[in-house]
Amino acid sequence: MLLWFLFLESRVMRRIRLIVSYDGTNYCGWQKQPNGITIEEVLNSAISKLTGEEIEVIGASRTDSGVHAYGNVAVFDTNARMAADKFAFAINQRLPDDIRIQYSEEVEAGWHPRKNDCIKTYTYRILNRKIDIPTERLYAHFCYFNLDVEKMREASGYFIGTHDFTSFCSQKSQASSPVRTIFSLEILQDEDMITIVVRGDGFLYNMIRIIAGTLIKVGMGVYPPSYITEIMKARDRKFAGQTMPAKGLTLVEIEYI
């Protein structure tokens, strides 16, 4: 009788949600792929070792190669009998030091990190000076040309709201709709570090890196701030600025609403 009860209990499948931070430098992005090691694979392997099951995490943001995160979100299902908040520490013991679970908790069985409304916050960091700083080289895009931050701030206003972002999207995108909502886009300055902080309901492929490249052109005086409206109207990738390097981009937070 007692054995039967234990057997039943050990089969209570739970869904665990993780807040995942990583230094993207040494990874080919989040999603499993044939050409290199990815965050997803390393997580699957660490959690499988911990629980003895074959774990496949589901991630919220499938960040690109080289992109960093403080707060990506992932879930996995497990029969393991461990307090939900202890998974973070236990998984960390099996992870390399460039990936860390910040938090773990139980969520409802059906909860899916990509099928729930959310606000995503990303930063794009630009080091604007004449010579790069070695300790920033992996976490900021180095820009030699003097940027006019006030002009960049003026331009940032045109991105806010619900727009068709076709011009700010890589042609490789497979999204069904190019319409997205940006809730805020701030440009912070701390000495020679310029940080673009953008909050939205989701972003198209390479969208923030293209927005960063476009804002850099505004800062350099190549585009006037109001030209953002023209670029948007054109619905043509060629009108916007370059796709900036992945290393400047960090997924800061995903808030489910």
Please report whether residue 27 would count as binding a copy of itself according to CB under 8 A.
no
Running DSSP on this structure, what letter comes out for residue 64?
P
Cβ atoms of 127 and 248 within 8 Å: the answer is no
Under the criterion CB under 8 A, does residue 191 sit at the interface with a copy of itself? no
Does position 67 interact with a copy of itself (CB under 8 A)? The reply is: no
Looking at 52-60, 85-93, 163-171, 205-213, which segment touches a copy of itself (CB under 8 A)? Answer: 85-93
Strand partners, 197: 123, 186
**3-class secondary-structure state, position 44:** helix
At its nearest, how many Å lie between a copy of itself and the CB of residue 136?
9
Q: How far is the CB of 188 from a copy of itself (least distance, A)?
A: 14
Contacts of 251 (CB under 8 A, 6+ apart): 61, 63, 67, 68, 69, 70, 71, 72, 120, 121, 122
d(CA 246, CA 211): 13
Q: What backbone torsions phi and psi does residue 202 show, to the nearest 5 degrees? A: 150, 160
Q: Does 83 bind a copy of itself (CB under 8 A)?
A: no
- Site of tokens 């670029």: 231
Which residue reads 């807040």 in tokens? 19
Please identify, among the stretches 44-52, 88-96, 111-119, 192-200, the one whose residues bind a copy of itself according to the rule CB under 8 A: 88-96
Residues 6+ apart with CB under 8 A from 161: 181, 182
DSSP state letter for 161: E
Site size toward a copy of itself, by CB under 8 A:
23
23, 64, 85, 201: the active-site residue: 64
In the shown chain, the binding pattern of residues 105 to 144 toward a copy of itself, with x for contact by CB under 8 A and - for none, equals --------------------------xxxxx-xxx-----
Catalytic (active site) residue 64: yes
Binding residue per annotation — 22?
no
Query: Nearer to a copy of itself by C-beta: 12 or 131?
Result: 131
> What single-letter DSSP state applies at residue 146?
P
DSSP code of 138? T
Q: Which stretch binds a copy of itself (CB under 8 A): 92-100, 112-120, 152-160, 164-172?
A: 92-100
In the bound complex, what is the minimum distance in angstroms from residue 218's beta carbon to a copy of itself? 27
Q: Write out the residues near a copy of itself by the rule CB under 8 A.
A: 21-23, 68, 70, 88-89, 92, 97-102, 131-135, 137-139, 250
Task: List residues with catalytic annotation.
Answer: 64
